[in-house]
Amino acid sequence: MSDIEITLNVNGRDRTVSVPPRMTLVDCLRDVLRLTGTHVGCEHGICGACSVMLDGEPIRSCLMFAVQAEGHSITTVEGLLKEDGELSDLQDSFWECHAMQCGYCTPGMLVASQSLLNENPEPSEDEIREAISGNLCRCTGYQQIVEAIQMTAKRRREGASHG
Amino acid sequence: MVDAPANLPNYRYVSRKRRTKEDRRFISGRGKFVADVEVPGMKHVAVLPSPHPRANIVSIDTSAALALPGVHYVLTGDELGEATNSLFHGLDLPNVVWHPLAVGMTRYAGEWVAAVVADSRYIAEDAAELIDVEYESLPAAVDSEKMLDEDQPLVHPAHGTNVLFRKTWTWGPVADDFASVTNTVSYRARWGRSSTVPIETFGVVAKWDDTHEILDVWASIQMPQYQDQIASALRIPMNQVRVHNDVDVGGSYGVKRGIKHTVLVSYLAKKLGFPVRFIEDRLDNMSGGDAHGPDRIFDITMAFDDEGVIKSMKIRALDDVGAYPGRAPLQLGKPITALCGPYRVNSIEYEAISVTSNKTGQVPVRGFGQSPTNFAVETGIERVAKYLRIDRVEVRVRNLVRKDEFPWQIPPGSRYDSGDFHAVLESAVKTSNWDDLIARRDALRAKGRLAGVGIATCLEPGGGNNIFEFLFNPKLEITTFVESVLIKVDPTGVVSAMMCTTTSGQGHETLVSTIAGEELERDPDDIRVLHADSLEALPTRSPVASRMAIVLGTATSKAAREIKSKMITIAAHDLGVEQDRIEYADGEFSVRGEPARKLGWNEICHIAHKQFHRMPPGHELGLQAYAVQQVPGAGGLPNEKNEVPLYPCFSFQAHVPLVEIDPDTGKVKVHDYFIAHDCGTAINPDIVRGMIIGGVAHGIGAALYEKFEYDVDGQLLAGTFVDYLLPSAHEIPGVTDIEHCTPSPLTSLGQKGSGEGGYLGAPAAIASAVNDALAPYDIEINELPIRARDIEAALFEKTQ
Amino acid sequence: MKAAAFDYVRASSIDEICRLLADAGDDERKIIAGGQTLVPLMAMRMARPDMLIDINDVAELAGIHDRGDHIAFGAGTRQRALERSDVVSERLPLLAKAVRNVGHIQTRNRGTIGGSIVHGDPSSEIPLAALALDAKLVLRNLSGETEIAIDGFFEAAMVTNIEPDQLLTEIRIPVWQAARVGTGFHETASRQGDFAIVAAAAQVELSDSGSIVRAAVTVGGAAPSPVKLHTLEAALAGVSPDGIDALMNLVDQDIDPDTDVHATAAYRQRVARKLVSRALADAVEEAGK
């Protein structure tokens, strides 16, 4: 039951850490790598606050042990920022629409939303609600989040047509 | 999106679409929540919960836990109970002793019996499993209605009864009013044990700073008198407690109380000499933390004339506060503020009964008890309409306080400050296309579905005057709920404001910067808002009770106006004119009629800080002002008739949902939701809108999904997110809202509260819609949450 | 909510997995694939294996193969891969309908078909579809490979008939080759994405004249494990679709519902009939097209 050394690529950087097998990925990200943007909500796979991308797909980082992420790439909310540190269009839309209140579910929501838009650039409202239905928010009632995702899709569409 | 109210004054920043100050850090993953606070050397706590609802603790053997490598200490209730004072109760209950860890007896399944301090939470949980507790299990008191009998097991034997509070008030001529009309309806309405359950659990980090002899506390807190209660429990003076208010709080809506957690870790940190952190996990939170809300049975009779005009009501409310009351019983008191809702009722009898049980203790929840009461009263309005076969909207129209009647005093003494209830109701009807909605309902019904349109109106008292506490406990002779702000302008002209509490999503930094910016004509984006720690802070009572826009907002206006006045004084002196000749606009102070004679904003700041020779004689150097704001329109004790004005400002709203029910499964789908809303001047429209819709979502949860269910033996059946059901984006519909603005005469810019309203009205509106859908079957369900199985069972019974 | 300590092995082959299982002795060694059921149980310390054997690196345990009369799924195939698979949507539409109701995108991205079957949650969706279609399960241990029928695999709630030294490697789901085949899947859950309170899966084959040639019907959430409605299936054979509703009382023959925090036994019983009826109606309609 001794610690295991693993290397995982987090937000584009290879990180090598030594962790006990039972440490969840979210605890590794937060407590070992000090990437505290990803939040812990329920630790039993319901609330979605800990959502990160594993090899580009959204997953719950409380339902995965860090040792299982060896050799995989992880994207957290910190990795959604553009390379120059500026906000991504999705993050900017979340701000513009005030798609949060307390901000606790926000990183997970952004990850779920980003994953949706990667796969489906023009989602319907139903598709948006489906994509974020695994992420619970207690503040907003979800509407401003839905609007932020719609705004991002619209901006991308318009940006593409102008560009 | 929100339509700007037509009568909006020409504000620069207030009520304008503007980005919030807080969101930027959250979207970039840079929020600073308590679990992100890292204090060097800190150790981690796990607690051991009791598996028994009621048991004597025979013995506790901690030796195996202590022997585990990485474990530093194991604390039990006996030690902590000796070393600390009982935690605070709102009622005067000298024989109800409450400590963070059970002493001698456990009173609910999940109560903490011991706490482990270890190098990591992982090790702490390993050690907690190794603590050997011998219990003598006892029968539990579970059914709240039986608590009025004498033969129940006693939750607090020293108290002698499970009834904590029972009192009847009569405001106005109830007997005469009942005699004066021919019609009454009597009914029972039941509010299930639900709560707001933030996605962040409660957490706290404590450090005893031996150098300065100060206890530092970082916590996910939203509670009045937090530092007072920490000091009192730990038997240290308040000036040795420093609560850091700059911690982002991951949602609260009332429940983030955490006093027992805080006393626990503070004691450990002080005793052990290193920082200690306790972040609840979800199991800790749901069974042993501050998660549970009101659990209430209402028995109500309304007396009304043949036109449906309600003259009087008798309300009996029985509330189960669980094992340790804390402030929970006072949640029967706050609803007195708007006990008859927005209706012109002449007299009210109110019996409030608070009982204790072997369940997890109840804590304050969004609205502080108002939402259950609004649901119960609205249920009665529906009953009256049904009894007289009057349209449900019309019966409300006939009873609402009229626009020209404000300020309107209700029997218990609250004075509704302002409003245009009829216009807002009409707007809800219009926005929802009520007739179309009814047509859609009927079309669904024609296809064999069950469908219903709901209606509810509700008042949201705002401003947080806790004089209702006095009605429940005369020892709490507290007549203010103060809030403060300090504004400073530095020598370079930039503005900072210091508020005195934490924030849990309400956007206070945006509130303060927007109002300060408006008053000073400075861009709010350039105004920095800080959260003073509790030793630096001016008087404060925390961001509860939909009060920050009202009290902190008005304080901000006052402090900003004082800054402006000081700058005018300096300008007048420097320009050699009387003060009343100075005009301020767009950052320039000029002499009226002589626009060339002027001083810029920055120049005055420079003078104030650095040029004594240009300052008016005797004038304070620098540019700073603070305001300590009393709750407007409040401050007295009740009169001999027990009448007292409670909250000062009253927001109003009307809700209209359309629901469809699957007749085979009983499952409810909320299709559409319309709300018309008036909270006076909305400081930031996006924040107000989010609060309303989020509150509606909470209300839908309480109405249809959420309940801390117990079995007959007192075991909690809903202690995880698998069993306690928080609605997702599928369950919450799109909400259409329309804003009105009836400014409050009591606040600086006409603002009122908006943090609770959606939650106060939605449960009643959803129940109304569900019962409309069930009306063809003559079924009425007045117990929340109304779950699929309840509906299916009722339909099955009727159709057999 | 931290798991008890365990040893971790990331296996690279089926043989290695079987050897680790065979060598367990008194240890409890558990396979971890997606972990979406196991990890919450471990977080609550309701499961506390001594060793986790991670099978995610074993490439041969993942993949969807069309083998003509059946589709073979590597046990470690992600639920999301099922959802995105054209083979599944075209050849096993019942499974496609079932998988859309499983959890949320984040859990389907990790959760596997094999994990869902091996855990045997009484109301999970994938076992219902697999059971309806008489899937075959391929189990491996050091002594070799066994193919068993899925009917009888689900023993009780969260208990399945797999030996501690066995690994589920493949799920083989038969494809009905007839021209007129239709499917239906209905469930009711407290919230969309939750485990079903009650779920029903049905697949029917119709004759040219429109009568039912054969029917496969399963129900979840109405017994300690997913159940196949053998009595109803037998009665449906040869029946005209108009006669389906008259047979719905037969649903009761094979179910054994219980009361819990989500629903009463009576509710599950009544709703099971309704959802079976709906699933069959959809299946008949689809087959008739």
Mutate to test the interface with A, among B17, B21, B28, B37 (most CBs of A within 10 A): B28
User: What is d(CA C114, CA C73) in angstroms, rounded to the nearest whole number?
Assistant: 8
Contact between chains at C107 and A68 (C-beta distance less than 8 A): no
Closest CA to C28 of C123, C159, C164, C157: C164
Mutate to test the interface with C, among A24, A53, A60, A142 (most CBs of C within 10 A): A60
Q: Is the dihedral of CA A67, A72, A77, A82 positive or negative?
A: positive
User: What is d(CA B317, CA C219) in angstroms, rounded to the nearest whole number?
Assistant: 44
List residues of chain B with CB under 8 Å from any CB of chain C.
Answer: 121-122, 125-126, 129, 281-283, 662, 664-667, 705, 709, 717-718, 720, 722-723, 725, 727-728, 730-731, 787-789, 792-793, 796
User: What is d(CA B711, CA B729) in angstroms, rounded to the nearest whole number?
Assistant: 30
CB-based contact, C59 to chain A, within 8 Å: no
Contact between chains at A134 and B253 (C-beta distance less than 8 A): no
What value does the mean pLDDT take over residues B55-79?
A: 98
Q: What H or E segment, with its residue span, contains residue C46? A: none
Please name the chains neighbouring C, where neighbouring means 3+ C-beta pairs under 8 angstroms: A, B
Peptide bond preceding B407 in cis form (omega within 30 of 0): yes
Out of B5-19, B147-161, B585-599, C129-143, pick the least confident: B5-19
C156 forms beta bridges with: C159
Q: Which of C191, C262, C271 lies closest to B792 in CB terms? A: C271
The burial of C280, by beta-carbon neighbours within 10 Å (0-12 exposed, 13-18 middle, 19 or more buried), is given as buried
B182-191: pLDDT as tens digits: 999 999 999 9
User: What is d(CA B495, CA B501) in angstroms, rounded to the nearest whole number?
Assistant: 19
Work out the minimum CA distance from A3 to partner chain C, whole angstroms.
9
- Does the pLDDT at position B7 exceed 60? no
- Does the pLDDT at position B658 exceed 80? yes
pLDDT band at B633 (very low <50, low <70, confident <90, very high): confident
User: What is d(CA B656, CA B769) in angstroms, rounded to the nearest whole number?
Assistant: 8
Specify whether the CB–CB gap between B463 and B521 falls below 8 A: no
C-alpha angle B111-B116-B117 in degrees, rounded to nearest 5: 140
Alpha helix (H) ranges present in B595-737?
601-610, 685-704
Give chain B's mean pLDDT: 96
Contact between chains at B691 and A38 (C-beta distance less than 8 A): no
Work out the minimum CA distance from B664 to partner chain C, whole angstroms.
6
- Full strand arrangement of the beta sheet holding B132-137: B105-106, B55-61, B132-137
Distance of CA A73 to the CA centre of its chain: 13
Q: How many CB pairs under 8 A join A and B?
A: 183
Contact between chains at B723 and C274 (C-beta distance less than 8 A): no
User: What is d(CA A4, CA B69) in angstroms, rounded to the nearest whole number?
Assistant: 19
3-state secondary structure of B393: helix
User: What is d(CA C206, CA C215) in angstroms, rounded to the nearest whole number?
Assistant: 9
Contact between chains at C274 and B727 (C-beta distance less than 8 A): no
C47-91: pLDDT as tens digits: 999 999 999 999 999 999 999 999 999 999 999 999 999 999 999
Which residues on chain A are in Cβ contact (under 8 Å) with C107?
45, 60, 63, 134
CA distances from B488 to B393, B493, B747 (A): 51, 9, 22
What DSSP character marks residue B488? E
Would the ipTM clear 0.95, i.e. be above it?
yes
3-state secondary structure of B725: coil
SS3 content of chain C, % helix, strand, coil (to 5): 35, 25, 40
Q: What H or E segment, with its residue span, contains residue C278? A: helix C265-288
What DSSP character marks residue A65? B
CB-based contact, B40 to chain A, within 8 Å: no
User: What is d(CA B307, CA C234) in angstroms, rounded to the nearest whole number?
Assistant: 63
Specify whether the CB–CB gap between B718 and C261 falls below 8 A: yes
Work out the minimum CA distance from B434 to partner chain A, whole angstroms.
22
C-alpha angle B395-B401-B406 in degrees, rounded to nearest 5: 170
Which residues on chain C are in Cβ contact (under 8 Å) with A59?
106, 109-110
pLDDT band at B545 (very low <50, low <70, confident <90, very high): confident
Distance of CA B340 to the CA centre of its chain: 20
pTM of the model: 0.97
Contact between chains at C188 and B787 (C-beta distance less than 8 A): no
Which residues on chain A are in Cβ contact (under 8 Å) with C36?
45, 60, 63
Distance of CA A60 to the CA centre of its chain: 9
Contact between chains at A133 and B689 (C-beta distance less than 8 A): no
Specify whether the CB–CB gap between B528 and B441 falls below 8 A: no
User: What is d(CA B319, CA B317) in angstroms, rounded to the nearest whole number?
Assistant: 6
B86-103: pLDDT as tens digits: 999 999 999 999 999 999
CB-based contact, C266 to chain B, within 8 Å: yes
CA distances from B366 to B89, B253, B639, B754, B792 (A): 19, 5, 29, 11, 30
Looking at residue C194, what is its pLDDT?
87
Looking at residue B4, what is its pLDDT?
46
For residue C107, give the chain A residue with the closest CA: A59
Mutate to test the interface with B, among C124, C261, C273 (most CBs of B within 10 A): C261
User: What is d(CA B722, CA B239) in angstroms, rounded to the nearest whole number?
Assistant: 43
Contact between chains at C261 and B717 (C-beta distance less than 8 A): yes
CA distances from B214 to B231, B236, B237, B270 (A): 11, 10, 10, 10
Q: For residue C266, is it left (φ>0), alpha (ψ between -120 and 50) or beta?
A: alpha
Specify whether the CB–CB gap between B112 and B283 falls below 8 A: no
Peptide bond preceding B785 in cis form (omega within 30 of 0): yes
Q: How many CB pairs under 8 A join A and C?
A: 89
Out of A81-85, B57-61, B437-441, C249-253, pick the least confident: A81-85
- Does the pLDDT at position B588 exceed 80? yes
